[in-house]
Amino acid sequence: MALNKGFSLHTITNSAVSFELPEIVEIAGALTENTLSVNEDTWLCIQASPNKLGDGDVSSNLRFKEDNQKNNEGCEKWVDILGRSKGGIYCTSLPREQRLRMYIMNDDGTIDVFNKEKDEVSEETQILKEFLEKFGMDQEKVKVMKGASEHSATYLADMLSFIMVMESLYNKSSFTSTCAFPEIVKAGDERLKPVEKGGGKIWVPVEGNDYLYFTPCDDGKGVRFMTYSDDPNNLYTKLQDLLSLEENEAKADLRKIFTFCKAYNRWSDVWINDIDDALAIYMILNAYSHTELNGYEADIKRQIEEITSTFFQ
């Protein structure tokens, strides 16, 4: 048994829709192709933040450190997609300083949950263990999954990002609007300079790489970004509800997403940088696993199971 690593477009559609609804597109990985269907009606959510020139490095999904050509083509793809979306774009990447949990993968295939004070949160450790086992991810399989994480640790950031997608539908007041103009700063541009970061670290631009930065501007003159500004504890509370093996309001809200859209499209980098892309899909599946489903919900569950069936080989 091995991990089936790769970039994939996962699509879940609502077969019961008989009238026009927008599609949700969540970009959860670096862009390797330009086939995403995005237009002015798309509900676009991106796991990236609009960093300014001078901030140093950009969000991981906006770059390829190891490949100049992929990186520079990716910058062009991002500008194209952002330009096609005329509504507000929701940024669903939680800053590292607001990530309240660290999930450590141990050599024996267990995963421990720690808070910011580095204390283990035993109740959340147990909830995660039961969730993984529900979908066949026992300790032997977790040992294999561990290979997808460079440091044997994860923030489960993609799962939090999906919860922010839900928040963008139900709690728009949790987001703050800003406007910024995208600019690709080409490799060799004299404005690309090393930036001193906290702790004495210095960021140095990768030779040959272009960088996509964003300059704040007046509304209507650039891209309008909606950034999560509410208490991150709310996200972690909903994460526990969505991981639990019982029906609750958070799971019901997740299923209601398809009353807002005719399709959910997710660009994923499964197992490439972390384990959380795959676990985010299992989290969605979990919302369909503890209650009686109607006809279209059962069809959605079937589609999700088809996606998860590709994660291991």
Mean pLDDT of 113-126: 98
Instruction: Please determine, for residue 283, whether its predicted confidence score (pLDDT) is greater than 90.
Output: yes
Mean pLDDT of 196-202: 87
- pLDDT score recorded for residue 35: 76
The CA distance from 288 to 291, in Å, is 7
The CA distance from 51 to 49, in Å, is 6
pLDDT band, very low/low/confident/very high, at 308 (cuts 50, 70, 90): very high
Q: What percent of the chain has pLDDT over 70?
A: 100
110-118 long-range Cβ contacts below 8 angstroms, 24+ apart: 110/139, 110/142, 111/142
Mean pLDDT of 226-244: 98
* Secondary element (H or E) of residue 164: helix 157-170
Q: What percent of the chain has pLDDT over 90?
A: 89
Mean pLDDT of 269-294: 97
- pLDDT score recorded for residue 158: 98
- pLDDT score recorded for residue 19: 74
Query: Residue 16 has what DSSP assignment?
Result: T
- pLDDT score recorded for residue 88: 86
Q: Write out pLDDT tens, residues 52-64.
A: 999 999 999 999 9
The CA distance from 105 to 243, in Å, is 17
Q: For 186-242, what is the HEC assignment? A: CCCCCCCCCEECHHHCEECCCCCCCEEEEEECCCCCCEEEEEECCCHHHHHHHHHHH
Q: What is the mean pLDDT of the chain?
A: 95
Least confident piece of the model among 61-70, 197-206, 289-298: 197-206
pLDDT band, very low/low/confident/very high, at 291 (cuts 50, 70, 90): very high
Q: How far is CA 246 from the centre of its chain?
A: 24
The CA distance from 121 to 123, in Å, is 6
Using DSSP's 3-state secondary structure scheme, residue 40 falls into: coil
pLDDT band, very low/low/confident/very high, at 3 (cuts 50, 70, 90): very high
In the numeric block, the tokens 């194209």 are attached to: 80
DSSP string, 228-284: E-S-HHHHHHHHHHHHSSS--HHHHHHHGGGGT-SEEEEEEEETTS-SHHHHHHHHH
The CA distance from 308 to 148, in Å, is 16
- pLDDT score recorded for residue 199: 82
* Strand pairing category for 153-154 and 195-196: unpaired
